[in-house]
Amino acid sequence: MSAEASPAARATALRRQLDAAAHAYYVLDRPTLSDAAYDQLFRELQALERDHPELADADSPTQRVGAAVGASHLAKHTHLVPMGSLDNAFDEAELAEWEGRLRKLTGDAVATAGYCCELKIDGAAISLTYRDGALVSAATRGNGSVGEEVTANVRTIPDIPRHLAGTGWPSLIELRGEVFMTFEGFERMNAERVRAGEPVFANPRNAAAGALRQKDPRETAKRPLRFFGYAFAVPGAAPLPFRSQWELLETLVAWGIPVAPARRHCASLEAVHDWARTLEREIRPTLPFAIDGGVVKVNALALQAELGVIGGRVPRWAIARKFAPDLAETTLLDIEVQVGRTGALTPRAVLAPVEVGGATITYATLHNFDLIAEKDLRLGDVVQVKRAGEVIPQVIGPVPERRTGTERTVSAPRRCPVCATPVVRDEAEVAISCPNVACPGRRLEALAHFTSREAMDIRGLSHQRLEQLIAAGLVTDVADLYALTAEQIGGLERFADRSAEQLVTAIAASKTQPLSRLLHALGIRHVGAESAKLLARAFGTMAALTAATVEQLEALHGVGRTMAEAVHAWGHDPVVRALLARLAQAGVRMDEPQAAVADGPFRGLKVVLTGTLPTLGRSEATALIEGAGGKVTSAVSKATDLVVAGEEAGSKLEKATALGIPVIDEPELLRRLGR
């Protein structure tokens, strides 16, 4: 925690970061943090909440499992018993601390019972409901209590029996396990996708999770999915044919449910340590699928029930023994410099191809040039590369003892590699950037941001179509979009006359977006969506904003010196002024519709929009509510005053109902607004 951040501020920041990471991992199947990075942040938040009980929050990531189940084409499924999430031990000392806590609660009972040690498969957790031995439903973990039903898709997985074998199963039981892909199956599938001209998947875990959520089970059937079972749940006190975790695994095999190999019944903690060391050093490299550690469970089911669950989500009787992230060594061949939409220059490592975590890696992030200097990375170095689930691998550092003397040091560029403009760097910043707003290197990303839903909301302009327009010489900056004609667009490949007309209509419709949207769309350094609203409401027009002094800008609550200087420099850049003049000439709106009404019908209310409204777009509804004195927020919480719900409202509506928050529809919203 930084010296400046209060515990409350740090806790809030951690919760937001962990929520975003969980959503990316569980819902989008596109991880943004490595397991190790997530675990580190999670533990920091746990420590803060433990040391500062006043920061306790029922909505904290430490109090729930997975991520909220959002609106989708899949039906919701409530698990018989919530699916929990494990605490982690990263070394033998932490594992010993865990056993020490159990001994305080149970005495010698833990030592007598021993432990069941299993692989921690890196896949997607699911529950399988069997009634009278027949598979009746399957669901993803979701938020632990409610998941998404994926029965039709799961029926395509050969490992999962439609009818349990043998005898002795309860009349109703949920079997839990992990859906995954082998490395060989994953690589074969990606090779087939390449031949078909389809995008490849980043890693086996993402591919497996995405396969479960397909609309068409025939698409799921094309994926080489496998399954291992490891747990169960039954309603009430139903009799069970096993008394220990080890017996459970043996019983699952008898019922036709596959179970992961390399499991071990350990009579002591030292035996557990020995198993974990063997697993990490000898077994893991030979496995045909990904694991990120092992799971250690108290073997006796009666003792598991006695130990119970912490906070409704974490079983005391089990813990994940995490391993160090996968590492590999390869050669740093080159460092490329990429130019982002705001002009930031980001270095990227070009590597000799290497297998890490089941995928071939040729590029890795380097973040900034200070990091390169700090790690003393040199071209030609043998470097360590980490890839533990993240989409973009990272260079850990060089292996100095492997140097031959032919390696070359790397310096930060003094000029933009695309337009040759001298780079700039604020004293308070690490990144260097190209200040030229007309830099071709910034063009595509700037256009993509300008047209995005959060900015000018121009539908139908994907990266691919923007690249077409640029390649055809029709667009060089955002103002060129408003000069496009249906005839020009229709002449491009894969553009039909109707789609060309629809795109021109969408571009024209964006002209009415308020000044706040335009400011956000133009990508001013240090100005995000909320800052853009603040500036637009304070100055009212683009002319007033660009004429403001640094002192006038800084006088606004929420605008610091850095942002004030950036906005002032932007507004006085001749290239920017010329661009704004062209946008104004094209009819793009240059003012904010109205300031918030002090005594409006939504004065002081925190409002959440969810689902699709019949006639109002999201941005239009937001503007109306904020113009009437309200504040639109993204998440439902106890602080929410009102929810406006449309079709396919999803989990936000469910949470609002559970919390007793009033919910209205669009007609009622318009009535309250007097429209």
Cβ within 8 Å of residue 165, ≥6 positions away: 254, 255, 256
Residue among 120, 322, 533, 655 flagged as catalytic: 120
Angle of helix 561-571 relative to helix 574-585, nearest 10 degrees, comes to 70
User: Are the CB atoms for 399 and 327 separated by under 8 Å?
Assistant: no
In a 13 Å sphere around the CA of 520, the CA atoms on its Cβ side amount to 22
Least Cα distance to 26 among 175, 143, 193 occurs for: 143
List C-alpha distances in Å: 642 to 135, 181, 636: 41, 44, 9
User: Are the CB atoms for 333 and 339 separated by under 8 Å?
Assistant: no
Cβ within 8 Å of residue 54, ≥6 positions away: none
Angle of helix 440-451 relative to helix 463-471, nearest 10 degrees, comes to 130
How many C-beta atoms lie closer than 10 Å to residue 351's C-beta? 22
Angle of helix 92-106 relative to helix 269-278, nearest 10 degrees, comes to 150
Cβ within 8 Å of residue 363, ≥6 positions away: 348, 349, 350, 351, 392, 393
Task: For residue 76, indicate whether it is catalytic.
Answer: no
CA distance 218 to 153: 8
Question: What phi and psi values does residue 608 have, to the nearest 5 degrees?
Answer: -115, 130
User: Are the CB atoms for 437 and 422 separated by under 8 Å?
Assistant: no
CA distance 582 to 599: 38
- Would you please indicate which residues are annotated as catalytic (active-site) residues? 120
